[in-house]
Structure 1
Amino acid sequence: MTRKTRANPVESRFVGWRGSLVALLAGATLVLAFAPFAVWPAGILAPAILLALIFGRSPGRAFRLGWWFGLGQFGLGVSWVYESFT
């Protein structure tokens, strides 16, 4: 007999480009945890979303989701460089 396992509900909903988009948006949300916004719950929520997305994924897919997360975080978070020079 084969044993049925329950699928990860996050994994089944966010496959393909949807997972990449959610990872990008979660990374962009992480920017809100830093100054000048200081919305501290975003610092807990955004990495938790990333962990839920990569749980049970292949290493290659987890890397790609992490890359999208980092792109969202550093893409929007780099604005402090501009602010520091003005």
Structure 2
Amino acid sequence: VTHIHSETSVPDHVVWSLFNTLFMNPCCLGFIAFAYSVKSRDRKMVGDLTGAQACASTAKCLNIWALTVGILVTTALTILSVIIFQAISQ
């Protein structure tokens, strides 16, 4: 009997975390997500899949929050800038 071991794919979200670190980094959420992503990748290389999945889940949650807050802040600042520009021009 031949047993074939399947590799469990654990996404580490490093690229998404790097994007959030560089562009959408409110309250350093992107940087913290990047740290968890690297930690997940390290644990995956060691063979600790449970720890890798836990760190990847935390990184994903932080990335979602960083992206959401970053988009909301950018939108609010854009709207505020337009309102101020219109008030000044009148």
Tell me if both proteins adopt one fold, taking TM over 0.5 as the criterion.
Answer: no
Higher share in helix: 2
Q: Give the structure, 1 or 2, with the largest relative contact order (CA under 8 Å, sep 6 or more).
A: 1
Larger Rg: 1 or 2?
2
